Amino acid sequence: MNNDKQLANAIRVLAMDAVQQAKSGHPGAPMGMADIASVLWRRYLRHNPANPDWVNRDRFVLSNGHGSMLLYALLHLSGYDLSIDDLKQFRQLHSRTPGHPEYGYTPGVETTTGPLGAGIANAVGMAIAEKTLAAQFNRPGFSLVDHFTYCFLGDGCLMEGISHEVCSLAGTHKLGKLIAFWDDNGISIDGEVQGWFTDDTAQRFESYGWHVIASVDGHEPQAIADAIEMAQAVTDKPTLICCQTTIGFGSPNKSGSHDCHGAPLGEDEIKATREFLNWPYGPFEIPQDVYQGWDSKAQGEELEQQWRGLLSEYACAYPQLAAEFQRRMGGELPADFADNAWSFVQQSQQQMADIASRKASQQSIEYYAGLLPELLGGSADLAGSNLTLWQGAKGLQDQDDGNYLYYGVREFGMSAIMNGIALHGGFIPFGATFLMFMEYARNAVRMSALMGIRNIFVYTHDSIGQGEDGPTHQPIEQLANLRMTPNLSVWRPCDAAETAVAWSCALQRQKGPTALVFSRQTLKAMSRSAEQLSQIEKGGYILRATAERPQLVLIATGSEVGLAKQAAEQLTEQGVAVQLVSMPCTDRFDAQSEEYKAQVLPPNCPKLAIEAAHCDYWYKYVGNTGDIIGMRTFGESAPGADLLRHFGFTTEAVVARAIKLIDQA
């Protein structure tokens, strides 16, 4: 029984059985792509089921993540720590086999996929990381970093706009070790795609600079193997293998139809499919000889041991490089990073420079990049505005061992590629755009937070203060959106010292991404004591205290801290005891002790929050008795200073609202 078809049929029956038992799922894609997966995984994929984190493994991404049972079947059959009982728990609460593959839940799942197109974007990021890391560490005779990135994708991935963004860039960067398999089955949920998807996909990818292998029979093992070997032989272009398949292959009455795309086959059809496939076994029953045909553990352990031998020789020849490689792939910062970062924070405070926080961010990048060769930066065509370039920046388009990516106008693609780079390991990616255009990238930012990976999203031009570009470019609701995203840390610093802390915290945060939000306009430097400087990392702290119990607390972030300070000074002159709080990072503040939070925001004391963004987020801090000076409408097109006056961000307006709030208390 140990032949290609029966080994592939094991995937088909596991997929249809698990979906049927869950009464939910997508059996069609796994059944249609089973032959391709069988050939790739058994003959070509270099991986070790006993160590899913082996550094030099090939990466495999299932971009059409709705077909998750394909991946779960592959992992189970190959020998990963994923049991048949795990497969029986498909789509159940707290199972290791969720409805779409999730990074961190299942051994061997390289990234969380589900939103179509995101997976191929992640794969592009992984391939960029592999190529760049190889250029930085490989030496003659030592191909320490040398693996492929394989990606399965469907029609839906190709219809999503992100696929254009990332595949275009992949061609530009000549990612020869990226191989994508298009499941060309002509079916999506609504039926036959010819009614809404008539692109010449092969020509599209050729125009990107890809190597395209067209019209491969996705059910003929030798044709698939020949295509993979052709793809591996082309080293200066990514490859798209166009696999013609039948969705739900093996189902006598539902194959080739959208009926098997996103619903169980049904008991009668499953019985008929077993007969058609000549599979005489019951649900979730895999015979031993099929398991033996799939088992990859021994081969995987041998491949890893060979590589570890190479690493040992490399360490003898290049001990410093080897230590640096292992540190970076372990995700660890240099041992002295925290001390050096604190020195830079102190230096930033001492300089007391009045600069835009985007400029302070550039100074931070300049400093931290000197400490961290793993920093891989970039911007979505706005480097001159985001200020993401630094003296040591080297563009990847000029040299393979560079550290800067010119992403072009691709905000969504950039953010999803960054996810892939972070997942690959060896780099801490950051990428920048205007805060308003985070909207283009929203899904990728959410996926980064969902996966809990170290990623840094840099957003400048953070408010109506940017002025003349008008409401299309002025963010209003974006800060609240970001802050309400679980596991995303959001900083909006008010000057260079807070910016230095924000960057330090982002770089040291290992289990989630950070959004750093910066101003276009110049901000006034704040004076601080040593204690106040050390409290910035708490996310919120008392910037200006009062000798007596405060009558009012002013809370502000970013560019509005300077405004709040001026208002506090005027109120003090009027005899009002005012406590000024700078809150650059609300999630960090929320994580502090109740005692500390009560000290910063005393209960039963009126509070006025000031931020040039949507008001509603701040009610959690000011309560029903407090007030907020913020935005409730879109902005306007005018000089920034005029807009701030128009919308009430003036000292006079803050003082008036503060007095009114005290009178009502």
* Catalytic site positions: 411
The sign one gets for the Cα dihedral 47, 49, 50, 55 is positive
Q: What radius of gyration do the chain's Cα atoms show?
A: 28
Distance, C-alpha 136 to centroid of its chain: 23
Query: Contacts for 324-333 with beta carbons within 8 Å, 24 or more apart?
Result: 324/373, 325/137, 325/144, 325/426, 328/373, 328/374, 328/425, 328/426, 328/427, 329/55, 329/425, 329/426, 331/425, 331/454, 331/510, 333/372, 333/507, 333/508
Residues contacting 207, CB < 8 A, separation 6+? none
Q: What is the rounded (10 degree) CA torsion for 64, 127, 510, 323?
A: 150
H/E run at residue 515 = strand 514-517
| Distance set, CA 638 to CA 272, 484, 558 (Å) | 69, 30, 21
**Tokens found for residue 601:** 């925001």
The three state secondary structure string of 457-505 is: EEEECCCHHHCCCCCCCCCCCHHHHHHCCCCCEEECCCCHHHHHHHHHH
Helices 4-22, 68-78: axis angle to 10 degrees equals: 120
Residues contacting 482, CB < 8 A, separation 6+? 438, 445, 488, 490, 515, 517
Given the structure tokens 């997929």, which residue do they identify? Answer: 15
Give yes or no for a contact between 242 and 227, defined as CB atoms under 8 angstroms apart. Answer: no
Give yes or no for a contact between 215 and 188, defined as CB atoms under 8 angstroms apart. Answer: no
Give yes or no for a contact between 72 and 18, defined as CB atoms under 8 angstroms apart. Answer: yes
Give yes or no for a contact between 568 and 659, defined as CB atoms under 8 angstroms apart. Answer: no
Task: List the strands of the sheet with 428-434, edge to edge.
Answer: 404-406, 375-379, 428-434, 456-460, 514-517, 489-491
Residues contacting 122, CB < 8 A, separation 6+? 61, 63, 110, 111, 113, 416, 417, 419, 420, 423
Amino acid (1-letter code) at residue 607: K
Q: What gap in Å lies between CA 561 and CA 491, rounded to an integer?
A: 14
Given the structure tokens 């390289």, which residue do they identify? Answer: 110
Number of CB atoms found within 10 A of residue 174's CB: 17
**Tokens found for residue 263:** 């619903």
H/E run at residue 180 = strand 178-184
Q: What is the DSSP string of 569-612?
A: HHHHHTT--EEEEE-S-HHHHHTS-HHHHHHHS-TTS-EEEEEE
